[in-house]
Every structure is written in structure tokens, then in C-alpha cells.
Structure 1
Amino acid sequence: MAVRAHASLPGTQGTAAGQRFAGRTGALGSRGICYLGIAAITWGMVTQVEAWTYSYSDQGIYSWEQARNYCRTFFTDLVAIQNKEEIGYLNATLPFHKQYYWIGIRKQNSVWTWVGTNKALTKEAENWAKGEPNNRRSNQDCVEIYIKRQQEAGKWNDEPCNKRKTALCYKASCQASTCRPHGECVEVIKSYRCECHPGFEGDECGTAVQCPTLNPKGARMTCSHPFGDFRYNSTCDFVCPEGFERRGAGTLQCLASRQWSAETPTCAAVTCPELAAPRSGQVNCSHPHGASAFSSTCDFSCQEGFEVTGPERLWCTAGGAWSGVPPHCKAITCPVLRAPEHGEMNCSHLHENFSFSSTCAFSCQQGFELIGPESRECTAMGTWSEEPPQCKAISCPVLRAPEHGEMNCSHLHENFSFSSTCAFSCQQGFELIGPESSECTAMGTWSGDTPQCKALTCPVLRAPEHGEMNCSHLHGSFSFSSTCAFSCQPGFELIGPESRECTAMRTWSGDTPQCKAITCSVLRAPEHGEMNCSHLHESFSFSSTCAFSCQRGFELIGPESSECTAMGTWSGDTPQCKAITCPMLRAPEHGKMNCSHLYGSFTFTSTCAFSCQPGFELKGSQSRVCMAVRTWTGDTPRCRAISCPVLEPPSRGRLNCSHPHGNFTYNSTCTFSCEDGFVQMGAGLLRCQATGNWTSHSPVCKEDAAPFLKQILVYTSSSALVVAGVVLSGTLLALLAKRLSDREEKKKLLNPTSDLGSPGVFTNAAYDSNL
């Protein structure tokens, strides 16, 4: 077996990996030729850089276990994929192999696990192809990656572990000391990065994160800084001076979040119970360290009319207690009072009896009134306010006889005093309004209201509905000789007498008048519309209103409503309903449009149908209808060129295409040509038809037999050709076929994977050198 030498970049010759590779190729079996790929993968070359590198076995195909042993022998392990960027890089760089590639993930105890790190596959990192993993026949415990697959390239598929595939390996760039001791080294494409432990940062995770500098107020702080001042894991203890207590945590630690484990504590002075001012007194305090805190002092005083009993000053001690018992305020006293003659006294005492702020209210017996103050109050000087009051009999106001009437009075005491009574009567033609008699009460008022003599009245009249009434009254409202005139509001006419008079019989002359609404002509709804009327009075009369609206798809031309006026006419012209319009449509490019209009061009219910020219297909709505909202149904259609299957250049050939309407669509044309030494078999030009098919099948490039025939003719003389003409016409052709068959067999022996469609690049070169 021929093994091609492996080139290496400067600085890589003679490496241990290269020597191991060269020394072990014989152990790989009949397909042990390997090509290494890294960063930017190149076939048949090993490029070594300070980064994670990729490698793969180009011709060797193995079971999953064999592939892993291969990777662990020459590199680090089967590849462990970390992100979608890495997947895209591998798919873009690796060559296509029909059997695809093994990767370093396997089902262990029913859990998909990265074998290199022994970590379970997370849900977020899954990259399965559609419908995978399916565990067909319950033995698919290993994973392959689709490289350059027509569908779902870069996706994963579970497979039986005994299948033979290409090994996809990686070589790690992380060293044991990289990122240590405060981080973990993580491989990335073309490099590595450090994932720092919580609390550390920097390219090599050598710097602890910084917390804000602490500056406590009133507290003593003692700190330890294992990784630098106020950095990660720094701890600070806080102590308060005597007489003060700590508010907050006693110890703070700098966390990985760059914040302290708690707020900075403070020292607050020890507090005493809050003091209240004594009843009827005040307290005035000073607080150098906070309200009712250590060293606070409080001075006590009493309101006017009170005196202090107890200490006048207290202070808060260091033990959290006041220096003494709070004092209280005692009210000053006045002489005892007595009720006046023929009267009563009612006293209230806020403090002690007849002391400061005590009040006494005075009242008299029925029939007497108070002369003097109604109450007296004990002052701060120990004396009563005001002079003593007296009780005197009360009197009522002098009465007079009512107009058009007479009065007769009797007096038990003084004239118009308590218990005096007066009787009242009226002249003929008037009636008494009020009580027939009145009595002077103990309140100094007469019982009942003052009576009056009032003229006889008729029933109260009311203006007719929708009308007005104007009355004149000689002796009072709606009384004898009162007259009332009637009129109607605009829009109404009077039915009945224009005036009425109140007679001596308490009745009105004439009948009751009425106001009737003026009528307008009857209205009708417009065509394609509706009419909704409201009638305050009779149908189609004054103040009747009619609202007009149109059916769906029509708009109102004219007033929306009309009202019947006081003149018996309607306020506006009769409206009409007109079909609404939609924006004008156009036929799509490469297409046609056919429209029908019921109420006018592009109006409500107008319908337009769309179609495309041959070679194009309609995308969007086939027809659109103008709706009542002034928009068309469906989406705007377009004509898109019909697509033909994508063409690929033939093996050992070239493809050149032109696309007037898009790649491999209607009227695209493609021409084919073959490399030197090959002959084109089939049509040289294909065109995409309107049916979505090409005019012919793609041609193929076959090896040209002419050079071999020329070689035979060199060793054959012209005379021999004459003699052996018949032989060349039969036997020579058979010999030619035999030689071509032998060459194909030799190619298969040297390249056993060629039938699978995935030969290595150097396989053809090896074949050519052995012919």
C-alpha cells in the first residue's frame, strides 16, 4: 500500500504526533490512509497552531469504538461540539463522505453524554435532525454528524455503534495550568478561552472582582483582604462604641457579584421610652443623638392655670432609662358657686370641682328669662369670670289685627305676656288663613303663625303642554278676578280659548286650551339605505328627526339626518346612497387581470380574477373582491417563474447557465463542456420549460479512447494493418474494451471507497501514477 508523506508547516516537522502517525499507519487496516485537518482543514497536511485543531480519517472508516481509539491514539478524542458556530465551521470545511462522521457523544445509562468530558448533553445544546434520535431497533447509541448533506447539514443522527464511518477528531490546546487556579480552560475554534470561577476576571482569571470601598459612619471597621483591598472574599467586621447599638449585619463579605453581602451597618444611640407631655402641660427636649436617645434632656412646664408637681427636668441615661419619674400638672381652684333665685345651675369640671376651666351654665324656670351671663368660667387667677345672673319673667311681641280682619285678646298677667290669648276673624268675602287664636308661650313667642285674611281662590291653572300662560292677580295668585292668557311654543298651535277668568264661584271661565304640534310631509328611506325616525310628538311632526344610513358597501351623499321645523318643512334635502370605491388594481407583471363591476369601476362587490403567462405560476390570491371597508380581499398576487430542478456540473465537466427570471427557473439555459481527455455524451444545451422540466437529461463526460488507439498504431506497420484489417475491426476493439476494463478494476483496488462516492483527493493521483 502506498502512503503519501505528510507535509507540515514550519516548526511542526518531527513532532511526536507526526512520528506516531507515520509509525501507526500500517495498523489501520486496508483503508488506513489518513489526512489531518485543523483550523482551516487541508487534505493530506497537518497544521499545528496554539488552538484546538480538527482531524479526520479520509479513507479509513471505523466503528464508533475504533474511531474513538483512533482519535485518542493520534489526537485528544472524538470531537466535542460546543456551539453552532463550530458546527457551521465544520460543515463548511470538511469534505463530503457518504457514510458521514462519528462525533464524541454516546448514550450512557439512557443519557446522551459527551465522552471526552463525561458531561450530559443539555437541552439547549441539542442539534438533532428532524425526527431524531429515533433509536431504531433500540440499538442506536452512537451519534453521527451530517456534513454537506443536501438537507439538514450539520445536524445529528443516532446510529448503531457498529456501523463504519469516518472518525472526526480534535486536539485540545488547553494545558493543565491554563487559567488556573481561578478558572477553567474552554476550547473554542482557533483558540481557547478562560471561564473564570465566581469572583474572578481577566484573560487568565487572575484578578479578583472589586467591591465598593466601605466607609462606615460611627462604627469601627476591621477587614481582611485575601485577594486585595475590598476585593472578592474580603471580609469586614463592625463594632459600635459604648452607649450605641449596631443596626445591620456585624460582618460583610465581598461577593462575586461585586456587591457586599449586606448593607453597611450603622451605630445608633441607645434609646429611652418616648416621653409624653403631662396632661395640661408641655415637654421640651433636646436630642443630640436622635429622638429619646442617650444624652437627650427634657424640661417640663404646665399650661396657664396649672402648676408642676414633680421634677422639672429628666435625662436619658446610658442604660436606656430616664433619670426620674415624669411630673404632672395640677389645676388651680376657684370659690364654690350657687344657682340664682327662680333659676338652675349646671357645672362641668375638667379637673377638680370648681377648679381651673370649670364652667357653670345658668337657666331660668318656665316663664322667666335670664338677665346676665349664661355661664361663668374659673380663670387661671382662681376667680370666676362675669357677674352673677338673675331670672325675670318673659313677654311676647304686641299683636295687631290682620288686614280685612278683627282681633279680641285676654291677658292673665301683663299685656301680651306669658299666657295672654288673642282670637281672630275675617270680613265677608275673605277667608282666615292661619290659626283662629294664638297664645304667648314661655319662649316669648306666640303659638302658631300670624293669621291672614285672604280672598277666595280658584283651582291653580297650568300652562298647556308645549305652551305658556301669563296671569294677573288683584288679590292673590289664582284668586277672585285673576285672569290668565295662553299661547303656544314655536312649532305648536293653540286649540281652545286664548284667556280664562276666576269667578266668585271659585271656578274658571271657558274650557282648558291645548297646544298641538305642527306636521311635516312623510319621508322615505333612500335606495340602498335605511331611515330611522324618532317622534317626540305625532309622526312626522315638529321636532321629529330622521337619521339616514346606507347599506354595507354604500356611503351617504347628503345630510345624515333631517328635522321637522316649526314652519312645517324639513331642515335638509333628501340624501342618496352611493357605492364606495376601492383603490384601482393592476395586473401583475407577466400576468393578466379580468374584472366585473356591479355598481361602477372598482366599487363595492367589484371582483377581479388574476392569471399568469405560460412559464409563470400565481403566488397570492387568484381573485380579489372590493369590500365595504374600501379594501380588497386577499393579498396582492404576483407571477413567479416556474422552477426546474437545480443542475450540477457532470463529473470531469463544467456547467455555465443564464437565468433571466431567477436561478434555474423558466427560460434558464445551461451549457455543458468536458475536461480534456473526456467526451461529452448527451445534449450540450438544456432549457427550463414552462412545465418545470429541462428539455433533456444532463450529459455525462466519458474518458476518450483515442489516445490508447494511437499507442496501438505506433507498434503496427501499415502493411500489417492491411493484412490485419479484419482483426482490428473485431479483435482490436475487443482488446481495447479489455484494457479499459482492466484499468477500472485497478482503480477500484487502489481506491476501495470510490463506489461510495467519497474518494480522497490523493486517491486519483495515486491511481494515475500506477498506470
Structure 2
Amino acid sequence: MNATLASLLLSILLASCVVDASCTRKLDVKRKCLKKCNSNSDCRGRKKKCFCDGDCGMSCVRHNRKCKEVLSILHGAVDVKPYNRFNAKARYSCDEGYTLNGPDVRVCRGDGKWGLTAPSCEIEGKCPPPPHISHAKPDSLPGRKYFNVGDRIYYSCEIGYDPEGFSIIACLDNGLWTKHTIKCNPKACPDPGHIHNGVRQVGDFVYMSKVNFTCNEGYQLHGSQSLKCNSSGKWEGVKPHCLPIKCPLLKNPSNGEVVYWNRNRKYIKKNLISLKYGDKATFNCMRGFEIKGDRERICSANERWSGESARCAIVDCGYPGHVPHGMITSPIKTTFGVKLTFRCANRSTHKGHMAITCQENGRWDHSPPLCLKQCTVPKVRHAKVYTSHNDNVGIVQYFNHDNYVVISCKKGYALENRHKKKSFCNNGTWEDLPSCVPAPCARRPPSLENLESGVMRFNSNQHGAEAKYECFSGFILKGHPTVKCQKGRWVGHRPRCIPIVCEQPGGIRNGLVYLVGKMGRYKYEEYTNRRRHTDQLEFECNSGYKLQGPRGTTCINGKWSPDKSSFPKCVPKMHPLFIGYQGKRKFHTFF
């Protein structure tokens, strides 16, 4: 059939789709059916239509649904129309001499699968090997491929299974076996019953099944943990029972005893033979002894006591440790009740208890004493040492621990840390012993006698620091320029700043010299004293003379500026007789 014919048949099928009242969905359908429908309107989507889908009845099926290609069969043929589409039919036929074993027609279903099981072609007049039946064996010879018409096969059940139904099948002339009804059911075992103080875990009471037993807490299983139903319908194994878990009594340790308690912490008398699961044993020791091992043990599920065996050992406080500068004077024993006594070495004092006792709790009642060495008189350079009572040490040679001395520095020296003048004796060593260093200068260095002539500068008043003197301009330093702080005082002579003066310049011929002051100018006589720095002189000529040179001079750092060699001169004035012209040129004539 070509593609055109297939499309034509599909169009006819879709056009004639009407609800078939006889096509109903069966109750025992063994496949998953598509959506149920009565008309095309019940189906969603354009590609789904309401078709009769075999035992699923009217269902929404895609109109282009396809099934996989049908496989050919040995010694036969299959014809599919239309090709592998929904509702296509596969018709089977066998070659000559063979007969069909199975359905002759299969239909492509709406789920895309072919219905029924593919048949096979068997030789005519022969039957294939008998069908397999679970837990049953045929009496035919193994390996035989074909059986003749009329041959009979008898099935027998395996051991542990009982037959139900007809156990004989026969080969028919169509090459098929008659339908068998035999079933092999497992043999049943009776209910094994329950156990006291325990539980069972069980399924079916049939051949090969098991029943497992467990006991409640505090009980132990005696017998088989599980029973198995055998081929004879009987249980294999001994039905168990649950007995209480018991632990034997424990022996009292030397210098101690055992006390028993139940789970509710109630005391149990000692006249028992054994104790139950969960009971506790507590060990107590006599005074002066202590438990080594587990103080409390519990009766466990394995009928044994938990933990390790306990014993009572005498209390031992252990060696209290070495005492520096001291010794133990009593016999050295460290067990309960023993008393140790101590003694400190010469030139030492003690702190604490000189005797200690080992207690019941395994500890000494006190720590060993401390033997603390004395200190000798400290030697401090440039200082005197005094006792805590402000007395000179004198003949005192040793100081006890925690005693202190006071350090007082000699003249010219001071404490390096002025807040620290005490030192304490600590086990033979002086702690933070003060030291004396050259003292700083308490006062400022001396200033210049005339503060307007110069300045004194210094940065520190510590020992070794220097103060420097400097003169202002117009003054010269006389003396050493520095003084130095030495052990609390400034060493050196204070210098002086002497004014710098200019020598008498003398007068000028045919003129006068004036001294310029703040209030004006004054006639400067040749016999006047020397002039100081910044003093000024002015020159003026007598009548009939004029000044030739600078009008004045200034005293600068002991020299006149301009200097004497540049001082001016007074020269006579000259008067013109007449003024004449020579052409456009003007000239004067003097006499």
C-alpha cells in the first residue's frame, strides 16, 4: 500500500469518527489507557480525536500515532495495513508444514504499542517443549524439542510445595498443549507462638520463611534466634525463651566493701546469689584508703560487670616537692596521717607552716614552707644606706626577706629615679636597688650682667649640660662663652659683653663736626670720648667754604664708615664776575 492510499484511508477514518456504543472500557484492562471520551470535543488539542482503542474503549488518541515496526517471524510472514499506524492490523501466516501458535491478528493501540504477544510458527502435528510452571517439573526428557500429537506430560511440584489443580497436559493435533491448571503452593507451617519477655518478627508461615525472636531489655535469648519453615511444613530449630540477665556477686576489695543498688537506687541486700541486668555495684573504702579503678559498675547485657575491677589503695599525698634553702627533718613518708616537718638553712627565714599532714582526700593540709634567704648590706656608690627605721646600717650585716633599706645620695648626686628610694630584700636579692647619679643643677645658669648687651641660652639642667653666652651686635664677649652643670652647680665664670667703640676721628680744617643724637645734633669736640656702635657724626664747613666728600660717618663695630681716609674737606667757594656767551654757548668767568 502506497502513502497516498494510506492518507486516503486515514481521512475516511477521521471523517467517520462517531461514538460506538459497543466500544466500552473493560474493567480488567491490563495496560494504561488514554483519556476517556464520548466525542472529539472531549479531547484537547487538534491532533487528538475520539477513537475506539480496543479494550480501553473510546479514548482520545493522536491521529498520527504510530507503532514500532513489526518483526517478522521464523517460518512465517506478517502483513501490516495501514503501515504501523493507529488501528493498523498485523496479520500473521505460517509457511507450508507449519501451524500458527498464538494470535493471528495484532492491532496498533493508542499507546503506540502492538496488542497481544507475537505468535510463532510451529511444525504441524508437533508440539514445542511443555510450558514452564513455577516450582513444578515436567516428567519429559530435558532437551527434547518436539512432541507428537497425543503425548502427555505429568507435572510434579518441587520439594516443599503442594500441587493444586490438574497436573497433566496433552499435545493436540494443532501443535498446542492443552491448558494446564496446576499450581505449586509452598507448604504451610503452624503458628510458632509468642515468647514471654520478648517479641517476634514474622511474615508468612510458609516454606522457606523465617521467624526471628528478640528479648526485651534485661533478658537474654536462650535457644534459636530464628526458626525456619522446612519442606515438611515444620519449624527447624528450638523455640527460644527469654531469661533474665544475671551477673555474679563481686568480691569485697581489701580494706573496703561493695554495695549494690537497683535501677531505682534502692539498696539491695547482700544475701543474693546474683544480680539482675541494670543493677549497680558501688565500691567504698575504709578511711585512709581510696578507690583505684571504677567506683561504680553496672550489670551489662553480656552478664558481665562494666568497667574494671576496683581495689582500695592507701591514700598517698605524694612527695610535697623540694624546698630551696630548707630540708625535711622527719622520716620521709607520704601516706595518710603522716606528718612531715621542715627546717630552713642558716641565714634564711621561713614563710608558711613548718609541718604538714597527709589528709584523707590525698592532699597535704598545707603547702610546704618557703625558706627565704637573707640579704647582705647593699653597696651603692655615692650613697648612704639606712634601715627601714631611718637608722644608719652601722653594724647590721643581714636583712630578712621583705625588709627594706633606704638609699640617700651624697652631696652632688641624686637618685636616678627620684620616686624610688627603697629596695626590698627578696629571697637573698635586693629588688630594683636604686642608684645615685651626678645631680642636675637646681637653678638656671647665671644671666649676663647687662641683659641688653647679649643673651644666655641653655637646653637642659642635667649634669654635663652647657649654657652658652652670645653678645648682641656692637658688643664683644669678654671671658669664656660657656658654663657647665657639674654635680648640681654651674661651673665657670660668667662672661661680660663689652661695648665696641670707635676712636676719636678728630676734626676737619675750616669746618665743624657734630654728633647726631635722639634730641638733635651737638657740636662734637676733639677732646670728647670714644663713640659707640651706631653713633653718627655730621660734617659742616665754615662760611666761605663748601663740603667736598661725604656729609657724615657712622661707627660700625669699632670702625667709622666711611673711614677717616674718606672724610670730607672744606674748600673755598669761588664767585663768577660775569656771564658771557659765545654764539649759543654760555660760559662763566671767575676770579
Q: Work out whether the TM-score is over 0.5.
A: no
Q: Larger C-alpha radius of gyration, 1 or 2?
A: 2
More helix by share: 1
More strand by share: 2
